[in-house]
Amino acid sequence: GSTIGILGSGQLGRMLGVAAAQLGYRIHVFAPEPGPACDIASAFTHAPYTDTAALIALADACGVVTYEFENVPVEPLRAIAAKVRPGLRALEVAQARVDEKRFVRALGGRTAPFAAAGSPAELAAALAEVGLPAIVKTNRMGYDGKGQARVPAGAAPDAAAVWKAIGAQPAIAEGFVNFAGEFSLILARGADGRTASYPAVANVHEGGILRTSTAPAALSPATAEAARALAIEVADALDYVGVLAIEFFDTAEGPVFNEMAPRVHNSGHWTIEGAETSQFENHVRAICGLPLGPATLTGARVTMENLIGADADRWHDILADPGAHLHLYGKHEARPGRKMGHVTRVTR
Ligand code: ATP
Ligand code: MG
Ligand code: MG
């Protein structure tokens, strides 16, 4: 089929749809609520992710089904597993912070010290195990730093209060990593197992939300290579098909894995103008069984800035800058903390 099914209706799906259209594909969006991807979709199924009959109809209408939102429940997707890329194993591992960290450790990767907790008492034990300062995160579903609580050193932690603060649900306690910076590694892996990895990208967060990404990240060659090697190992171990993003902390001891996203990623938006093949096009190529394109930079340095909330009002000035590439996602309401668009600048 020449139609790609996309679970999720956000801006990632929208940009995937643009890349898909360039290669002659249509997109069919499936989501519980309309969003930026619907504007450019040729079909939209407005249904919950648990609607198995609707999922089967989507798979019948599409050559392949992918996702731009990694918290889609896995169980209902089993009915259409043969059509889903990246596969369900990747989705499953990436949905739970404890699982993804165990998985990466088993491959020899480094993570923060961590311990799982399913109750306030277990959280107290987990905090004692990982040490303070610590960060407690919900095991599932968090993004943009939501569902997290910082636990400072110096006083005995009130585990019951922390448990409540993150919504009284299964959690992970992580020892605080002293990092020099944060970076991500984005790679595409094709159905034939070949990979194309983008240069590592340095990420700056503000209030838990990605603010800017700059490629290439200024890393030691050893750290950059270790991160790239680990990302490829992760992708191989999952028999991954599509674009995979991994967030790392840059430390004196090398890269420390933070989390992965089994999808195109905000820290890869710069690739639209800043790389020979964008992450969106390479994702489409991978899931459609096509050869991957080169992931090399088109300039010496590329920066991407997220336009968050009222930042989008700057669009007029941004368009007046001949070096700026503006992307707006067509969201109607500029709420604080909401990603409205982004702007990319390539230094030749
Ligand atoms: P995203 O929107 O990237 O999916 P998220 O809500 O899943 O974010 P994380 O990426 O795990 O959350 O954490 C958000 C930020 O908090 C990180 O980018 C980093 O700045 C900081 N952070 C998280 N874990 C740790 C840690 N163990 N040590 C130090 N800083 C951390
Ligand atoms: Mg995350
Ligand atoms: Mg993150």
Q: What is the CATH number of the domain that holds 10?
A: 3.40.50.20
Residues 10 and 69 in one domain: yes
Within a domain: 101 = no
pLDDT by residue (tens digit) across 22-49?
999 999 999 999 999 999 999 999 999 9
At 93, give phi and psi (nearest 5°). Answer: -65, -40
100 close to ligand 1 (CB < 6 Angstrom):
no
What's the rounded mean pLDDT across residues 249-262? Answer: 98
Instruction: Using the structure block, give the residue that is written with the tokens 């020449």.
Output: 2
Check if the interface score ipTM surpasses 0.90: yes
Residues 135 and 279 in one domain: no
pLDDT value for 287: 98
Within 10 A of 291 (CB to CB), how many other CB atoms are there? 11
132 close to ligand 1 (CB < 6 Angstrom):
no
The answer on whether 259 is annotated among ligand-binding residues is: yes
pLDDT by residue (tens digit) across 76-115?
999 999 999 999 999 999 999 999 999 999 999 999 999 9
Is 76 exposed, middle or buried (CB count within 10 Å of its CB: 0-12, 13-18, 19+)? middle
Domain end among 31, 64, 84: 84
**Number of domains present in the structure of the chain:** 3
Name the token pair of 183: 């970076």
**Contact present, 28 and 56 (Cβ < 8 Å):** no
Within a domain: 287 = yes
Residues 19 and 157 in one domain: no
pLDDT value for 4: 98
The proportion of the chain whose per-residue pLDDT surpasses 90, expressed as a percent, equals 97
- Residue 17's domain comprises 3-84
259 close to ligand 1 (CB < 6 Angstrom):
yes
Within a domain: 98 = no
Calculate the average pLDDT of the chain: 97
What pTM was estimated for this model as a whole?
Answer: 0.97
Please tell me the residue having the least CA distance from ligand 1 atom 9.
145
**208: pLDDT strictly greater than 90:** no
The answer on whether 95 is annotated among ligand-binding residues is: no
